[in-house]
Amino acid sequence: MTVSTVVSRLGIAALAVGAVLIALLTVLPSSPQVSALRQTISQYGLTDNSWIFNLAVLLVAAGSAAIIGALRAQRRLPTASAVLGALWVTGLLVIVAFPKNNWAVNAAGTIGGLLHRYASVVAFVCLPIAVLLAAATAFPDAPGRRALARLLGYASLGWFLVILAAVPVGLAVGGNWWELIPLGLVERGMAFTEVVALVALAAPVPQAVARTRTPELAVTP
pLDDT digits (tens, 9 = 90+) for 39-96: 999 999 999 999 999 999 999 999 999 999 999 999 999 999 999 999 999 999 999 9
- In the chain, which residues have pLDDT < 70? 104-105, 107-108, 207-221
Q: What is the DSSP string of 78-108?
A: -HHHHHHHHHHHHHHHHHHHSPPP-TTT-TT
Residue among 70, 72, 57 nearest 25 (CA): 57
Half-sphere exposure for 66 (CA within 13 Å, toward CB): 21
Output the pTM of the full model.
0.90
